[in-house]
Amino acid sequence: MALQLGDTVPNFTQASSEGEINFYDWAGDSWVVLFSHPADYTPVCTTELGTVASLQSEFQKRNVKTIALSVDDVESHKGWIGDINETQNTTVNYPILADGDRTVADLYGMIHPNSLNNLTVRSVFIIDPNKKLRLTITYPASTGRNFDEILRVIDSLQLTDYHQVATPANWQDGDDCVVVPSIPTEEAKQKFPKGVTEIKPYLRMTPQPNK
């Protein structure tokens, strides 16, 4: 059965470009972005892994670890990392899982036979420190992922885990937030001293509470 939001993600032990990884031990108390790609030495994937490398400081300040995956082997990964570093002007400093036996791909539902036969599709999983699945997105092979959007979602999740707000369409960190419907307006005005704007009884906005 496919993983669903809120599920505890399965643990695994698998080879990687940085040695054998036990996923739970490696993740520790961090958030994790796990993302799969169809194959090494492919053009779109090269730009994606380079982009994630260049964004490491952004992930780190959010307590996020990144880890990639394909069904190619460790030696292939290591050779390809050299190309990524050269062509994308960066340094890949996170592991790439070598899932040749498809252990992780099967656990996480990364094989979509009607799309890419036995190759892993372009999936993204955001996993919180409790090992709960918080987001999953699957992109077609021809479309590179938007990692600014992944960071935006992480900002939203980390905000809304601690404050009784939700984030509206196209929200960016620092923008106004939606007061969750479960809080009556008068209570919301006490809870959010920066102010509550009632547009409709069910649509109340407030400045981002942690800014």
Active site residues: 45
HSE of 177, CA atoms in CB hemisphere, 13 A: 24
Distance from C-alpha of 126 to C-alpha of 109, rounded to nearest angstrom: 14
Other residues' Cβ atoms within 10 Å of the Cβ of residue 60: 12
**Exposure pattern of 41-51 as b/e (b: 16+ CB <10 Å)?**
ebebbbebbbb
Residue at 125: amino acid letter: F
Q: How many CB atoms lie within 10 A of CB 120?
A: 25
Cα gap 201→197, rounded to integer Å:
10
What b/e string do you get for 172-199 counting C-beta neighbours within 10 Å, with b at 16 or more?
A: eeeeebbbeeebeeeebbeebeeebeee
